Structure formats: structure tokens, C-alpha cells
């Protein structure tokens, strides 16, 4: 019998964070490079197949475990955590929508066996960041397809093992009638068309590429992308992204708290000037955490009913989690900066929060909050606000 206690995915991720990701986080940030060491450690611990059902070789863990891994990794390296989040958003789509297709079932088995890292090509030149529209189209001939996409962003495209690409269903289909297709590294070529030299999240290497791919027609997901977007992507992106941002903010607050405690020890009896602000920061941090947990619980409930998953109320709730958390984390890290003062402002001190702040500023932009609020405001024209406290 195996007497070794089973570690939770969250604690495995925390160890990877502390022992690997933290060591390289500054060089990843400075050089704007792919965090290859921590992704290798994640693969070694088989965390890429965390959500894949056991029958396809994965661990079959519930969704919230992936959120916990995101938070744990983000405390050491936000880029690593965001790459992990983006991979899991793609596997969530596969799990929800690929189980009826023999090709996608085999693909899930491959992800588990080979720990394949999945990337996403949803944005396209000429559509202004709206992932629910495509210009490029899948061209099917017999049982084969071909596809070319000017993808303005494919995060870690060069380092991924497979890419999930959106496109119009065929050359005649309207822009909004999209499908998603999974392609493996041997089936595509990438020609770089854009670089990634940014304020933060510098390790995600979200460069632009001209993607050319071909493969078997059965690699196209059987469900329309609109349903994939509404039933798995909306919730999984907003919940995993916010879990990453919460991890960044949590580490900044931990640094601020360490600073305040050190001050308090130096001068017992007189409360340090940052103590009150730290208390205020923790009220915000707790609200963020509660918001994400409520979102995760709502998603778990909604997954039992396709109607709830496709409802306007669910979309409004997920949009609100994203907007609220993305705004709050910047505010929280700003408090941490004010508490740590010059030690927080300087790089390479135990209290530095510059990278945290730069990384967190991406939150309001990755799917622009203005776009999300525009979408929510449209939904609120018909959806009525639920005034009850408990559901």
C-alpha cells in the first residue's frame, strides 16, 4: 500500500511556485521570456491534465482545483500562472464539448500522456478584439480541412504543443457563425507578425502570428463556437483569470504584511504607520476572494443545467466577477506599494511590488473591461437583477 499522503494540486503548485517559478520570475519578466523552467515542472507533476477525465488519462479534478493552482502559481510568477490558466480554459472547452467526438477523445488522452500545452488563436487582424467574429474560414475538401489565420495574439504560440483556433464554419458563413478546431504542432506553421514587449505579463510571450494549418475534418469541434464560448469559455476564462489576479494581489499583501510586522517588531508599543492601510487592503482582498468563490460555486451549479449555463443572468454574473476583480487587484497592490514605500518601489527587495503592479494592470485589458461592461449593459436591457441574498 502506498502510505505517502496525497498532496492536493494546490499544494503541488505552491511548491512549484516557491521552488521553481519564484527563482526565475525576475528573469522571465526582465527578458520577456517564456517561463520554461516552471512549465517543465508543471508538466512533470502532470498538472496540465488536471481537469481531463480519468478515462482519458487525466486526474478528473473538479474545476475549482485548477483555480487553486492558478492562485498558488501567481503568488510566485504571474506569467506562469496565466499560461496555466489559458491552457486550462482550452482543456475546459475540450472536456465540455469534445467528448462526443472520437478525434477529440484521443486528443485528450494525448494531452494526458504527453502533457501537451494548449494555446489559443481567437483574436484576428481586422475584427478589433471581438472573439465572437472571424474573418478567416475553414475550407473543407473531402475529409481534410485547411485554414489560414492572421492571429494578432497567440500567447506562448511558439512554445505550445497544440492550438485551438476559431474560424468561420466555411467560406460562405457569416462572421458570427464560427467553429473551433484543434491543431497539433506537426500540423501548423507560425510566421511571427507581432512582438510582445509589454508593461507586464511579459512571460506570456503573446506574440502575433500568421497561422497556417491543415488536418482532418474531424478535428473541427462538432458544436458551434458560440455555444463553446457561452458554455465553457466565458466562465472558465473569467474564473481562472481572476484566480491568477487574486494570487498576485495576495502576494503583494503578504509582502506588505511582512513589512508592517517587521516595523512593529522594531518599535513595540507604537503601531506602524502602514498598519491601518494594511487592514484596509485586506478588506478588499477578502471581497475579491469571496467574489471568486461565489463565481466558482455558481459555475459548479450552472454546469448541471445547460439552460442556466446559457442564461443571461449567468453571463452577467461572470462578467461582473471579472470586472470587479480586475479593478480591485490594482487598488490592493497600490495599497501594498504605499505600505512598503521605497522598499516596495525598488526592485529586488523582499517588499518589491513593482512587477505585481505591472502584471495586474493587464487585468482590465485582457478582454477590455469597457467591452465587457458594454456587453453587460446590453444584457441588462432584458435581464432582471436578482435582489435575493441567497440563491
Partner 1 sequence: MATTSERVRNILAQHAKLSVNIASLSDDADLYGAGLSSFATVQLMLALEEEFNIEIPDRLLNRRSFESVSAIAGVIHSVSGIREAG
Q: Report if residue 99 touches partner 1, rule: CB under 8 A.
A: no
Among 11, 18, 27, 176, binds partner 1 (CB under 8 A): 176
63-71, 139-147, 171-179, 209-217 -> range binding partner 1 (CB under 8 A): 171-179
How far apart are CB 311 and partner 1 at their closest, in Å? 5
At residue 330, the 3 state secondary structure works out as helix
Of the candidate residues 54, 175, 185, 346, the single one contacting partner 1 (CB under 8 A): 175
Residue nearer to partner 1 on the CB measure, 33 or 169 = 169
Q: Does 383 bind partner 1 (CB under 8 A)?
A: yes
148 binds partner 1 (CB under 8 A): no
With CB under 8 A as the contact rule, the residue among 1, 3, 382, 390 that binds partner 1 is 382
What is the C-alpha separation between 384 and 321, in angstroms, rounded? 17
Distance from chain centroid for Cα 70 = 8
In angstroms, the Cα distances linking 361 to 196, 294, 350 are 16, 23, 21
DSSP summary character for residue 353? -
> What is the number of alpha carbons within 13 Å of residue 199 lying toward its C-beta?
10
Q: Quick one: 174 or 341, whose CB is closer to partner 1?
A: 174
Residue placing its CB nearer to partner 1 in the complex, 228 or 340: 228
Q: Tell me which of 193, 312, 338, 365 binds partner 1, using CB under 8 A.
A: 312
**Is 379 an interacting residue with respect to partner 1 (CB under 8 A)?**
yes
- Asked if 226 interacts with partner 1 (CB under 8 A), we say yes
Asked whether position 338 contacts partner 1 by CB under 8 A, the answer is no
From residue 226, how far is each of 31, 125, 180, 303 by CA, in Å? 37, 20, 9, 17
| Closer residue to partner 1 (CB): 230 or 281 | 230
Q: Are 102 and 218 contacting, i.e. CB atoms less than 8 angstroms apart?
A: yes
Cα-based distances in Å from 163 to 22, 91, 107, 171: 27, 11, 12, 21
Q: Least Å distance between CB 235 and partner 1? A: 15
- Please state, in angstroms and as integers, the Cα–Cα distance from residue 49 to each residue in 55, 101, 145, following that order: 12, 18, 27
Q: Is 1 in the site for partner 1 (CB under 8 A)?
A: no
Q: Cα separation of 150 and 208, whole Å?
A: 8
Question: Could you say whether residue 302 binds partner 1 (CB under 8 A)?
Answer: no
Site membership for partner 1, residue 384 (CB under 8 A): yes
Question: Over the range 361-377, which residues count as b (16 or more CB within 10 Å of their CB) and which as e?
Answer: bbbbbbbebeebeebbe
Torsion sign, CA atoms 89, 199, 275, 77: positive
Rounded-to-integer distance, Cα 238 and Cα 218, Å: 29
Provide the grid cell at 369. 473591461
- 173 binding partner 1? (CB under 8 A): yes
Q: Quick one: which segment of 148-156, 224-232, 251-259, 318-326 binds partner 1 (CB under 8 A)? A: 224-232
Binding to partner 1 by CB under 8 A, coded x per residue (else -) over 230-269, reads x---------------------------------------
Residue 127 touches partner 1, criterion: CB under 8 A: no
Binding site for partner 1 (CB under 8 A): 132, 169, 173-177, 224, 226-227, 230, 307, 310-313, 375, 378-379, 381-384
Amino acid at each position: 500500500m502506498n502510505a505517502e499522503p496525497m498532496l492536493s494540486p494546490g499544494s503541488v503548485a505552491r511548491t512549484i511556485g516557491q521552488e521553481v517559478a519564484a527563482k526565475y520570475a525576475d528573469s522571465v519578466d526582465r527578458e520577456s521570456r517564456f517561463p520554461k523552467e516552471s512549465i517543465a515542472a508543471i508538466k512533470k507533476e502532470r498538472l496540465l491534465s488536471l481537469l481531463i477525465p480519468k478515462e482519458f488519462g487525466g486526474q478528473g479534478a473538479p474545476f475549482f482545483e485548477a483555480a487553486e493552482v492558478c492562485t498558488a502559481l501567481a503568488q510566485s510568477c504571474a506569467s506562469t500562472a496565466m499560461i496555466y490558466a489559458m491552457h486550462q480554459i482550452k482543456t475546459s472547452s475540450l472536456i465540455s464539448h469534445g467528448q462526443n467526438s472520437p478525434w477529440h477523445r484521443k486528443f485528450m488522452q494525448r494531452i494526458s500522456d504527453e502533457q501537451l500545452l494548449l494555446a489559443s488563436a481567437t483574436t484576428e487582424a481586422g475584427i478589433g478584439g471581438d472573439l465572437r467574429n472571424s474573418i478567416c474560414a475553414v475550407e473543407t475538401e473531402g475529409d481534410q480541412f485547411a485554414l489560414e489565420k492572421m492571429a494578432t495574439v497567440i500567447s506562448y504560440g511558439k512554445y505550445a504543443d497544440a492550438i485551438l483556433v476559431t474560424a468561420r464554419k466555411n467560406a460562405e458563413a457569416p462572421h458570427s457563425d464560427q467553429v473551433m478546431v484543434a491543431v497539433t504542432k506537426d500540423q501548423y506553421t507560425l510566421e511571427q507578425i507581432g512582438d510582445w514587449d509589454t508593461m507586464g505579463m511579459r512571460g506570456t510571450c503573446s506574440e502575433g502570428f500568421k497561422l497556417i494549418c491543415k488536418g482532418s475534418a474531424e478535428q473541427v469541434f462538432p458544436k458551434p463556437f458560440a455555444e463553446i464560448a457561452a458554455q465553457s469559455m466565458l466562465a472558465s476564462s473569467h474564473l481562472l483569470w481572476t484566480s491568477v489576479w487574486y494570487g498576485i494581489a495576495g502576494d503583494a499583501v503578504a509582502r506588505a504584511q511582512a513589512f508592517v510586522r517587521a516595523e512593529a517588531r522594531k518599535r513595540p508599543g507604537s503601531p506602524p504607520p502602514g498598519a491601518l492601510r494594511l487592514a484596509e487592503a485586506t478588506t478588499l482582498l477578502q471581497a475579491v476572494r469571496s467574489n471568486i468563490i461565489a463565481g466558482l460555486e455558481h459555475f459548479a451549479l450552472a454546469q448541471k443545467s445547460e439552460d442556466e449555463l446559457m442564461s443571461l443572468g449567468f453571463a452577467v454574473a461572470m462578467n461582473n466577477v471579472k470586472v470587479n476583480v480586475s479593478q480591485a487587484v490594482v487598488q490592493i497592490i497600490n495599497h501594498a506599494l504605499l505600505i512598503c514605500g521605497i522598499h516596495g518601489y525598488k526592485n529586488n527587495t523582499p517588499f518589491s511590488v513593482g512587477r505585481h503592479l505591472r502584471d495586474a494592470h493587464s487585468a482590465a485589458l485582457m478582454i477590455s473591461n469597457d467591452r465587457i461592461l458594454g456587453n453587460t449593459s446590453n444584457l441588462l436591457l432584458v435581464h432582471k437583477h436578482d435582489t435575493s441574498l441567497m440563491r
